[in-house]
Chain A
Amino acid sequence: MTVMFLIGTIVCGLSVLVCWTMTAVRDHPADSSIISLAAIELYLLAYGVYAGIRQFAGASVTGEAWEFWGYIVTALLLPVGVFIWAMIDKTRWSNLVMSFVGLVVFVMVYRLEEIWWGSAL
């Protein structure tokens, strides 16, 4: 397990916890839920920049490079898309909708690690 994956797991896990808690205690989209999505987006940007610098310097990934970048682009779009969708109807459920990002991004980072190193763990 790489440090990047560990950080990703923590960021995604915290986001899911925050969103679930806010679903229970707030009847509107909570600031903390939105900030947790921003944290995931920031992490993905950092992940992408890190991978970009490494690959630009000549390091290769085990799997296909463009599958790797396809995953990164899709993952980057996810928090933005879900955020817009969650804001259409500002209710308690917006928080639960936003909790999906953490779950899905965690799986996507897991896949990214597999493509990058051959195995995530």
Chain B
Amino acid sequence: MRQPRKANEAAGTDVGSGSTAAGTTTATNSPSPTPRNRGVGMLIITAYGIFAVSSFARALYQILTDFDASPVSYTLSAFAAAVYIVATLALARVSPRAWRVALVAVLVELTGVLAVGLWTYLDPELFNEATVWSHFGQGYGFIPLLLPFIGLYWLMRHRTGPAAAAAVRDTQA
């Protein structure tokens, strides 16, 4: 049911923009033949999904069992889990709004892993219990440090809306 309606929408926008300028229509439609959430994109979303699930489970466990033991770490665990969940859902959707949400989530994630990573080295006392981002994600094979860079690269490769148009203009110039 969903498929044909999407096709109609696409056809509708094609006709609309085609009447204004034929040159830009082909340019904006061509840059990414594979959608952002398909192909290699599925891998990145899978990695985010796994981190969303595992950090959520971990945060839930930590908060339910002994929140008082290390409130800072546990609150941070919950925050990290929320960021991963938002990033996963936003990366899996293709709308321009999802793209922006994903960009914000990935940037927050990048800031989080760098800040918490640094913080755990400078002031280990505050984090007597580990979080996903402690020591730049050492407990998770440093994947939490790598993931935001991959996510950012992927989002930059698959821009939508005005950003995509600008990127096309850049390549044509």
Binding site for B on A (CB under 8 A): 64, 67, 70, 74, 77-78, 81-82, 85-86, 88-89, 91, 93-94, 96-97, 100, 104
Contacts and interface: CB of A to CB of B under 8 A. Distances in A.
Nearest to A98: B46
Contacts of B61: 67, 70
Contacts, number: 41
Interface stretch (B37-45, B129-137, B146-154): B37-45
**Main SS class of interface, A:** helix
B42 A104 contact: no
A86 B54 contact: no
Contact of B57 (A70, A81, A89): A70
Contacts of A86: 42, 46
Contacts of B42: 85-86, 88-89, 93-94, 97
Nearest to A64: B65
Given A64-B65, A67-B61, A70-B57, A91 B50 contact: no
Interface in B42-66: 42-43, 45-47, 49-50, 53-54, 57, 61, 65
